[in-house]
Amino acid sequence: MKFLDLARVTIRSGGGGSGCVSFRREKFIEYGGPDGGDGGRGGDVWAECVDGLNTLIDFRYLQHFFAKSGQPGMGKGRTGRDGDSIVLRVPEGTEILDEDQETVIADLTEVGQRVLLAKGGNGGWGNLQFKSSTNQSPRRANSGQPGVEREIWLRLKLIADAGLAGLPNAGKSTFLAATSNARPKIADYPFTTLHPNLGVVGVDAREFVMADIPGLIEGASEGRGLGDQFLGHVERCAVLLQLVDGTAEDVAEDWRIIDTELHAYSPDVALKPRIVAMNKIDALDDEERTEKLAALEAASRRKVMMLSAVSGEGVQDVLRAVIRQIDKGREAPEDEGAWQP
């Protein structure tokens, strides 16, 4: 299944049916009077969060959702049938935005949540509704209210407890594959990961969900590489795990690039609790480890952990640090600033 996290759709609620102008015509009844029924109500457009979906790919091939209009009223006081409503089924974590892509209409984060996107029009009154003591035979009826048509954006932000960030080839996918049930594509060239991956990570009889997003490069906020289009998937995370390639020539510069791009995307994301870890230490000797660890700690001004996703060295310690921060984030508000281990 292809991954799609942004879709533009057109929705339209149903219009109300028109009221009916009718008079009772029966044998032996000289003055039957009006009996025109009301029009039916138009169908609504709803969005519902459902289980079992993790992409918006369905909205790539079907982009127009129109509810049914109500039927007109009929004689003998019969009301027209209401139009059928329509439901857009979206995965957990879907944001519904207005046409400007900034105004948030709804944020569906739990299965079963529903939101009304467009209300159907009311049906028009038939001439029976206008009968009065001074107007015994009204010859007027109302038209039904028109439906509402609008364009909206659906943006999926994956529900994860922790997010991975780093340059391409920092070892994020390897780390996710080594610690979870996820099986992302792994290769020795940049941008192997083209879309986010989720994995359930287990440590000390505990589990949490980790998201791996495509690697960032310098200038990602300006559209270079894959850009920062996937950073929205870490906005809901309680903690970011930033992996730095220990075999890089300048680990401090690698950390700075990611930190700069996070700030350029959103200060809220940049100030999330962050754990910095130097990966691929299996390829370094003791002297290189010490030297690069000191450089990275000086640049990030925080304690840096070391690990090797290939050999497993230090992986459990990093996972324990991540889950501790997840627990801390659930207890404290998210806006307390950056975490310093």
pLDDT at 341 over 70: no
Query: Number of C-alpha atoms within 13 angstroms, CB side, residue 279?
Result: 24
CA distance 285 to 77: 90
CA distance 238 to 224: 27
223 belongs to an annotated ligand binding site:
no
Beta strands (DSSP E) in 120-176 are 149-156, 162-165
* Domain match, 131 and 199 both: no
CA distances from 56 to 62, 151, 232, 253, 331 (A): 11, 16, 15, 36, 32
Q: What is the pLDDT of residue 233?
A: 79
Q: What is the pLDDT of residue 334?
A: 45
Q: Is residue 122 part of a domain?
A: yes
Among 100, 123, 156, where does a domain finish? 156
Q: What is the CATH number of the domain that holds 17?
A: 2.70.210.12
Tens of pLDDT, residues 19-53 = 999 998 888 887 788 999 999 999 999 999 998 88
Q: Which residues pair with 154 in a beta bridge?
A: 7, 96
* Domain match, 29 and 111 both: yes
Tens of pLDDT, residues 304-335 = 999 998 888 999 999 999 999 888 876 654 44
Total structural domains within the chain: 2
168 belongs to an annotated ligand binding site:
yes
Residue reference for tokens 């990611």: 258
* Domain match, 133 and 172 both: no
CA distances from 339 to 186, 209, 217 (A): 31, 20, 24
Among 126, 156, 186, where does a domain finish? 156
309 belongs to an annotated ligand binding site:
yes
Tens of pLDDT, residues 52-110 = 888 888 898 899 999 999 999 999 999 999 999 999 999 998 999 999 988 999 999 89
* Domain match, 152 and 67 both: yes
Q: Is residue 220 part of a domain?
A: yes
Q: What is the CATH number of the domain that holds 186?
A: 3.40.50.300
23 belongs to an annotated ligand binding site:
no
Q: Is residue 310 part of a domain?
A: yes
* Domain match, 142 and 177 both: no
* Domain match, 180 and 34 both: no
131 belongs to an annotated ligand binding site:
no
172 belongs to an annotated ligand binding site:
yes
Among 156, 173, 189, where does a domain finish? 156
Q: What is the pLDDT of residue 340?
A: 42
Nearest CA-CA partner of 236 in 110, 47, 112, 90? 110
Tens of pLDDT, residues 182-205 = 677 676 666 666 677 778 888 888
323 belongs to an annotated ligand binding site:
no
* Domain match, 78 and 132 both: yes
What b-and-e string marks burial along 32-60, b requiring 16 or more CB atoms within 10 Å of the CB? eebbbbbbbbbbbbbbebeeebbbbeebe
Q: What is the pLDDT of residue 175?
A: 87
Query: Number of C-alpha atoms within 13 angstroms, CB side, residue 162?
Result: 32
192 belongs to an annotated ligand binding site:
yes
214 belongs to an annotated ligand binding site:
yes
308 belongs to an annotated ligand binding site:
yes
Mean pLDDT of all residues belonging to the chain: 86
- Domain, as residue range, for 243: 162-336
pLDDT at 221 over 80: no
18 belongs to an annotated ligand binding site:
no
* Domain match, 182 and 99 both: no
166 belongs to an annotated ligand binding site:
yes
* Domain match, 70 and 205 both: no
22 belongs to an annotated ligand binding site:
no
Q: What is the pTM of this model?
A: 0.75
DSSP 147: P
* Domain match, 143 and 188 both: no
310 belongs to an annotated ligand binding site:
yes
109 belongs to an annotated ligand binding site:
no
Q: What is the pLDDT of residue 335?
A: 44
Cβ(1)–Cβ(107) below 8 Å: no
* Domain match, 116 and 177 both: no
Q: Is residue 126 part of a domain?
A: yes
Residue 169: partners with Cβ closer than 8 Å, 6 or more residues away? 188, 189, 190, 192, 215, 245
Termini Cα distance of the chain? 39
Tens of pLDDT, residues 147-179 = 999 999 999 888 788 888 888 888 888 888 888
Q: Is residue 341 part of a domain?
A: no
273 belongs to an annotated ligand binding site:
no
What b-and-e string marks burial along 278-294, b requiring 16 or more CB atoms within 10 Å of the CB? bbbbeebeeeeeeebbe
Does residue 233 or residue 228 have the better pLDDT?
Answer: 233
In single-letter form, the type of residue at position 281 comes to I
Q: What is the pLDDT of residue 337?
A: 42
* Domain match, 213 and 325 both: yes
Torsion sign over Cα 50, 52, 55, 60:
negative
Residue 206 DSSP SS3:
strand
What is the arrangement of strands in the sheet containing 94-97, beginning at the earlier edge strand?
64-66, 6-12, 149-156, 94-97, 104-108
Q: Is residue 147 part of a domain?
A: yes
191 belongs to an annotated ligand binding site:
yes
Between 12-16, 113-117, 265-269, the lowest mean confidence (pLDDT) is in: 265-269
Which contiguous run of DSSP H or E holds residue 247? none
280 belongs to an annotated ligand binding site:
yes
